[in-house]
Structure 1
Amino acid sequence: MIDTVLFDIGGTLLTQQKNPERTVNHAKYIIFRLAELGIKIDTPPEEFAQMLHQRAEDYKHLGEKTCKEYPSVQVWNDFFLKDYNIGEDRLAPVAEELSFTYDYIRLDNRPREGLLEMSEKLTSMGMKLGIITNTISRSFAAHFLRENNVEKYYQDIVTSCEFGIRKPNPDIFYYAMNRIGAAKETTCYVGDTISRDVLGSRNAGLAMVIKINNPSVAHRDIDFQGPDAPQPDYIVNRLDEIPQIIVRFNRKVKT
């Protein structure tokens, strides 16, 4: 029987959309914030935004190969801002803030419909709820839950930047289950990608995997097509479909 449900954040509990205005505004904010620390960035905001995007993609591709996640100060010094030779000592006071804004300012984040209702329902069913997220920010996931009045339903948050390992490596799933007091035989994971969420859940041997549709990340799964690709147990379009799936699954197990 399922007694624990762990969730991805980006694309799963919230949708994330890019737009040029937010991207440039984020670049302007980074330039301004660094200037306050005496770090001058002469690159025009539009060009700086493009550079950040390319460096972030390079870092993401590296993470996909190695499943390693680095501390935020190292991410910014060695990857995102490597062209500027700033140094970790100077970036350390603001590194987490920069990582937070990378998700919070740069993207249009909106909670998926039914987030509160699903969280309440699963909790009323006796489920333990938690988060496993690939992220360079230690604080973004907690802020999102708090901002949307669902923080009290989620017992734990495991971020790749704190653990040092990214999905689909199973170790981050084992770590999260150990922290929340769950067994893989009774744990369900909900995410929006095959390459990270479904594959990672299968690697960890979880009892159930639910994939929520998110067309904006289809390019991340381009190498995971066909009959040999890992498959979720269920595919949903809405969060409020999840409680009933678990109810039916648990009833079947009982019989």
Structure 2
Amino acid sequence: MSIEEKWVIFDYGGTLALPSPRVTCNNLGAYFSRVLPPQQREQFLHILQRSWEGADERGRALGLDVSLCTILHDVLRELNIPFVGTQHVVDSFLRQLGDGEVTPAAAAAVREIKSQGYKIGLASNTLRSSKVRIESLQRAAIADEFSAVIISSEIGFRKPHPVFFEILLRRIGAIPEQVVFVGDTWHKDVLAPIESGMRAVWIAEGNKADPVSVRHSVPLISDISQLPSLLAQMSMAVSASRDVQY
């Protein structure tokens, strides 16, 4: 891979899209238990609650993540219920629940950034599968712009865990210096990528300079529509720096 290859990796909710409806133990249990015999539903919901809380505790304490299928398989295994076709049921549940809609401004920015020569990726903390998330990008007519989609529940780690970003870099075949990470959450989308050696852009509502962002020299924008011009400026600054070194 050429050192000149450049990547922009986006967070999803709050960055490219409106916030997504929350996946909860209750709405998953209500949907899935409908396909079970009535006599097993109460026990299923009880075990699901226990499994869900355990997964959530590990996520908060260790930065680990699991897929909805993994949670359901653990529950069904305890109930001695076959779990063939679970992924199909999970994806159906997620489609019914819905996903955050990509904003028109974000779609336009993605297309313009791609035209500047960047490769585009998505890196998201979510229980939604990559298949369902890609369908959301397809509805915005930008799925073809993305060369990589990294989902926390599919790789087993969530932002800001360092391993999340190690896997991200391996998946896209890039070194940290080739990547600009764009997101709206300071510790997950800005500080963690910087600590992994990447550059970052913080989408912060109000565009007010924050002491933390100033200390880290983090570019800050108030709206994603400002990103293409900012990236152009950052690229020129990097080129100028290389010219000075030579």
With the shorter chain as reference, the TM-score category is 0.7 to 0.9
**Percent sequence identity over matched residues?**
19
Indicate the residue corresponding to 1:245 in structure 2. Answer: 230
Give the match's secondary structure for 1:156.
Answer: strand
C-alpha distance in 1 between matches for 2:182 and 2:112: 16
Determine if contact 2:64/2:158 at 8 Å carries over to the other structure: yes
1:177 Cα deviation after fit: 2.2
Q: Deviations over 1:27-51 (max 9, x none)?
A: 3x853543224365469xxxx9xx9
Determine if contact 1:73/1:96 at 8 Å carries over to the other structure: no
Number of residue pairs matched by the alignment: 229
Q: Deviations over 1:8-64 (max 9, x none)?
A: 112211111659xx99xx83x853543224365469xxxx9xx97x98687445313
Q: Of residues 214, 221, 224 in structure 2, which corresponds to 1:236?
A: 221
Task: Please tell me the residue identity of whatever aligns with 1:137.
Answer: R
Determine if contact 1:11/1:214 at 8 Å carries over to the other structure: no
Gaps of at least 5 residues in structure 1 are 216-224
Q: CA, structure 1 residues 123+68, in 2 after alignment: closer, same or farther (shift >3 Å)? A: same
C-alpha distance in 1 between matches for 2:153 and 2:20: 22
Task: Please tell me the residue identity of whatever aligns with 1:160.
Answer: S
Q: Within 5 Å, which residues of 2 pair with 1:70-81?
A: 70-76=66-72
- State which structure, 1 or 2, has the greater radius of gyration over its C-alpha atoms: 2
Asked if 1:118 is matched to 2:109, the reply is yes
Indicate the residue corresponding to 2:30 in structure 1. Answer: 31
Instruction: Give me the CA root mean square deviation.
Output: 3.9
Indicate the residue corresponding to 1:167 in structure 2. Answer: 159
Q: Deviations over 1:157-213 (max 9, x none)?
A: 11112211111122222222222232211210011212322232023110x211223
C-alpha distance in 1 between matches for 2:204 and 2:158: 21
Q: Within 5 Å, which residues of 2 pair with 1:20-99?
A: 27=27, 31-38=30-37, 40-41=40-41, 59-60=55-56, 62-76=58-72, 86=79, 89-91=81-83, 93-95=85-87, 97-98=89-90
Gaps of at least 5 residues in structure 2 are 241-246
Q: CA, structure 1 residues 211+179, in 2 after alignment: closer, same or farther (shift >3 Å)? A: same
TM-score normalized by the length of structure 1: 0.72
C-alpha distance in 2 between matches for 1:126 and 1:245: 14
Task: Please tell me the residue identity of whatever aligns with 2:125.
Answer: N
